[in-house]
């Protein structure tokens, strides 16, 4: 199953409490909570290029499954991570106490981030 495609954010759960726990300032949380982001994913075998556009902010991520890469946290802080693939439709990464699971089911991509007992979920649909 290929992740390649463009996805528009449809809904999110627990955005505010999760971003607050990460240490994001309230003004950034308020600005970010209602903006629909577009994620563009290009998968070439084990290599991924992801571009997330949220309003005027654009974040690029590139990684190869099983190899260490640099990732950016929602706070803008950069950290090292290794992304693993489970099955053919799930990407899992752990970075700085945060676990990110991205699962593709048909045209729906679900990203769940967990930190301690707090979970933030984003659901996006292929466009």
5: left (phi over 0), alpha (psi -120 to 50) or beta: left
CATH value at residue 54: 2.40.128.20
pTM of the predicted model, to two decimals? 0.90
Q: Helix or strand or coil: residue 15? A: helix
> Using an 8 Å Cβ cutoff, are 103 and 95 in contact?
no
Number of structural domains (the chain) is 1
Instruction: Give residue-wise pLDDT tens across range 64-107.
Output: 999 999 988 777 888 999 999 999 999 999 988 899 999 999 99
| DSSP state for residue 2 in the 8-state scheme | -
Residue 73: domain span: 5-126
């Amino acid at each position: 199953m290929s992740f390649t495609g463009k996805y528009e954010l449809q809904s999110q759960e627990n955005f505010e409490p999760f971003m607050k726990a990460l240490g994001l300032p309230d003004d950034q949380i308020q600005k970010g909570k209602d903006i629909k982001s577009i994620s563009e994913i290009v998968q070439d075998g084990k290599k991924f290029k992801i571009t997330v556009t949220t309003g005027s902010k654009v974040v690029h991520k590139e990684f190869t499954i099983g190899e260490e890469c640099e990732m950016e946290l929602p706070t803008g802080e950069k950290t090292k991570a290794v992304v693993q693939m489970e099955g053919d439709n799930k990407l899992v990464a752990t970075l700085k106490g945060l676990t990110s699971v991205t699962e593709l089911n048909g045209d729906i991509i679900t990203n769940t981030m967990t930190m301690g007992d707090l979970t933030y979920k984003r659901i996006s649909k292929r466009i």
